[in-house]
Amino acid sequence: MKIPFLGNRPEKRGTPDPEGIAELLAECELLRSHASRAGIQLDDTAASLEALDQLPPRWREDEEVLPWLGNDAGLYLGTVIVRTVPGAAWEIWPDGQPVVRLSSGREFDVVASGQEWAANGVPELSQLYAEVAEA
């Protein structure tokens, strides 16, 4: 997902508000809607990622929904990481791509991971979270 209005801002406007960016990226409306219909509450925890991994992937039948749901899954994965892994934060690359940066400096393209999960089911979101949390 590219968010051009977050990157390449003129210097006079200052830097983007990290909390505002985090709230914007955490919305994930399509994913939250799918999860809610399945009785899953997305509460920004690792347990909610495990619950998402158990969802029947009916969205794969809809070519229009698939990329959007994958995008939301990646943003939700990033949201859980940022809110639960000490030192993790959102970073927006110059091209507008949101990534998660760990305190070690390692970056994760969570959107690409979410799209892979939505399309193929692997790697599981909870598995990705566990790998990042250990890093």
Total domains in the chain come to 1
64 Cβ neighbours under 8 A, 6+ residues apart: none
Q: Is 58 a member of any domain? A: yes
Q: Is 39 a member of any domain? A: yes
- For residue 53, the SS3 value is helix
Q: Measured between alpha carbons, how far is 61 from 98 in angstroms, rounded to an integer? A: 27
- For residue 107, the SS3 value is strand
Query: Which is nearest to 59 in space by CA: 38, 75, 83?
Result: 38
Task: State residue 100's pLDDT score.
Answer: 97
Q: Is 1 a member of any domain? A: no
Question: In which domain, by residue range, is 48 found?
Answer: 16-134
Task: State residue 15's pLDDT score.
Answer: 66
Q: Is 74 a member of any domain? A: yes
- Residues 50-71: tens digit of each pLDDT: 999 999 999 999 999 999 999 9
Task: State residue 77's pLDDT score.
Answer: 98
Q: Is 96 a member of any domain? A: yes
Is 8's pLDDT higher than 90?
A: no
- Residues 99-111: tens digit of each pLDDT: 999 999 999 999 9
| Neighbour tally for 75: CB within 10 Å | 23
- The answer to whether 114 and 71 have CB atoms below 8 angstroms apart is yes
- For residue 98, the SS3 value is strand
Task: State residue 12's pLDDT score.
Answer: 46
Paired residues of 100 in beta bridges: 90, 108
Task: State residue 18's pLDDT score.
Answer: 80
Q: Is 2 a member of any domain? A: no
- The answer to whether 42 and 35 have CB atoms below 8 angstroms apart is yes
Element (H, E) at 73: helix 65-84
Is 32's pLDDT higher than 80?
A: yes
Task: State residue 16's pLDDT score.
Answer: 67
Q: Is 64 a member of any domain? A: yes
The confidence band for 14, taking pLDDT boundaries of 50, 70 and 90, is: low
Task: State residue 52's pLDDT score.
Answer: 96
Q: Is 26 a member of any domain? A: yes
Task: State residue 135's pLDDT score.
Answer: 73
28 Cβ neighbours under 8 A, 6+ residues apart: 42, 72, 73, 75, 76, 79
